[in-house]
């Protein structure tokens, strides 16, 4: 039986992943800052720890998803420090702990995001895992997070970094987008030409399990094969909900309301494609945005 340690296991991706991993007959341990709260979210067969020194067995696979929510607040200096520390220091602490272990994890799967590739407004060139890092905050954050995880290669671990798109599921971005769209007040953001690479939560979970079971390493774009622009996203969501999508949000409003966070995450985006997963033979359950949204919103 494999032992899997998950950080951020109480979060949106983590809780869905833990449920699926238990069906593989793996032992799942979640490291949480608040095990009491995590116990109400996760199945009772998940072991909870709040300190790595509570581990009593070796860990075969480490899945590192912990990090303060990136799009919850404006990026003040203090918030940027929290976003960075919650990812980099958590990963450093894991590395420090496992460096001194007789048996470090053979596989490390660690978070990252498509923010790695930066903006590229209205750039229609597909971006693969070879895409370059960009000179902005979210890109640097992803690059630093990946570098801290890559240290595990020194311990002989196979390391895979998940450059994740907007995950669509019962929580996350979709939950925030739904209220205005349900009221018929949704619409594109600014010109709507910025790309919004997305992925269904079931594929996100299945990709992590695929990365455990297959020999994949380095960065992996976790996005559906058919990315859409923001305009197309708004049109499709409105169509699935049978509502109009006529109320655009001007760029100036986004910048006023959300500052740099709105600029980098809402007004910019790249046409990211999952080249590595496709080359490795991963079969997506949801290729198409309309069917993904239809399944999640029960309209298929
Ligand atoms: N969901 C998406 O669309 C998406 C897209 C791209 C990248 N990602 C990345 O993938 C990872 C998982 O995403 P998610 O949506 O599952 O995130 P989430 O729901 O926000 O959960 C992240 C988890 O990280 C832990 N955490 C929160 N604040 C922390 C802090 N200040 N210090 C240390 N740990 C903290 C929490 O666990 P405890 O409270 O139990 O400690 C939380 O459950 C995140 O790091 C995120 O940046 C997500």
* Mean per-residue pLDDT, 241-266: 87
Residues of the chain with pLDDT > 70, as a percent, come to: 99
Which of 201, 223, 199 has the alpha carbon at shortest distance from 277?
Answer: 223
Q: How many CB atoms lie within 10 A of CB 143?
A: 17
User: Is pLDDT of 119 > 90?
Assistant: no
Domains of the chain: 3-296 (3.40.50.720)
CA-nearest of 285, 266, 295 to 166 is 266
List pLDDT tens digits, range 34-68.
Answer: 999 999 999 999 999 999 999 999 999 999 999 99
Does residue 212 register a pLDDT over 70? yes
At 79, give phi and psi (nearest 5°): -65, -40
pLDDT the model gives residue 253: 84
Query: Could you count the other beta carbons within 10 Å of the beta carbon of residue 199?
Result: 25
What's the rounded mean pLDDT across residues 117-121? 79
Q: pLDDT digits over 255-277, tens only? A: 888 898 888 888 899 999 999 99
C-beta 270 within 6 A of ligand 1: no
70 in contact with ligand 1, CB cutoff 6 A:
yes
pLDDT score recorded for residue 122: 56
pLDDT of residue 293: 97
CA-68 nearest atom, ligand 1: 28
* DSSP characters over 210-277: HHHHTT--EEEEES-SS-EEHHHHHHHHHHHHT------B-HHHHHHHHHHHHHHHHS----B--HHH
CA angle (225, 226, 232) in 5-degree steps:
155
pTM (2 decimals)?
A: 0.97
Residue-level pLDDT at 299: 78
pLDDT score at 157: 98
Q: Residue 61 C-alpha to ligand 1 middle, in angstroms?
A: 18
Range with the poorest average pLDDT among 118-122, 146-150, 251-255: 118-122
pLDDT of residue 64: 98
pLDDT confidence of residue 121: 57
Q: 190 C-alpha to center of ligand 1: Å?
A: 27
Q: What is the mean pLDDT of residues 5-28?
A: 96
Tens digit of pLDDT for each residue in 67-78? 999 999 999 999
3-state secondary structure of 109: strand
Atom of ligand 1 nearest to the CA of 9: 43
Q: In angstroms, what is the span from residue 283 Cα to ligand 1's centroid?
A: 26
Tokens 């809780």: give the residue: 15
Q: Please report which helix (H) or strand (E) contains residue 200, including its range.
A: strand 198-200
- Residue nearest ligand 1's atom 15 by CA: 12
Q: Calculate the average pLDDT of the chain.
A: 94
């Amino acid at each position: 039986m494999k032992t899997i340690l998950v950080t951020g296991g109480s979060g949106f991706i983590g809780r869905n992943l833990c449920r699926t991993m238990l069906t593989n007959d793996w032992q799942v341990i979640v490291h949480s800052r608040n095990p009491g709260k995590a116990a109400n979210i996760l199945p009772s067969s998940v072991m909870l720890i709040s300190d790595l020194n509570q581990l009593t067995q070796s860990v075969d696979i480490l899945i590192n998803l912990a990090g303060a929510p990136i799009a919850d607040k404006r990026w003040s200096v203090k918030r940027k420090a929290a976003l960075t520390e919650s990812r980099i220091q958590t990963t450093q602490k894991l590395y420090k702990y496992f460096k001194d272990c007789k048996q470090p994890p053979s596989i490390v799967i660690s978070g990252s995001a498509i923010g790695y590739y930066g903006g590229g407004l209205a750039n229609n060139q597909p971006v693969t895992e070879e895409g370059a890092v960009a000179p902005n905050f979210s890109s640097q954050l992803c690059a630093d997070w990946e570098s801290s995880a890559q240290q595990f290669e020194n311990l002989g671990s196979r390391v895979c970094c998940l450059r994740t798109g907007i995950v669509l599921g019962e929580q996350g971005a979709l939950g925030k987008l739904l209220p205005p769209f349900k009221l018929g007040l949704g619409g594109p953001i600014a010109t709507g030409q910025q790309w919004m690479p997305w992925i269904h939560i079931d594929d996100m979970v299945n990709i992590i399990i695929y990365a455990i079971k297959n020999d994949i390493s380095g960065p992996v774009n976790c996005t559906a094969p058919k990315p859409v622009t923001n305009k197309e996203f708004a049109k499709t969501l409105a169509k699935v909900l049978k509502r109009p999508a006529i109320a655009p949000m001007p760029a100036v409003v986004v910048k006023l309301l959300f500052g740099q966070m709105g600029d980098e995450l809402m007004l910019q985006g790249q046409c990211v494609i999952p080249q590595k997963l496709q080359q490795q033979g991963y079969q997506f359950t949801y290729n198409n945005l309309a069917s993904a949204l239809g399944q999640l919103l029960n309209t298929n």
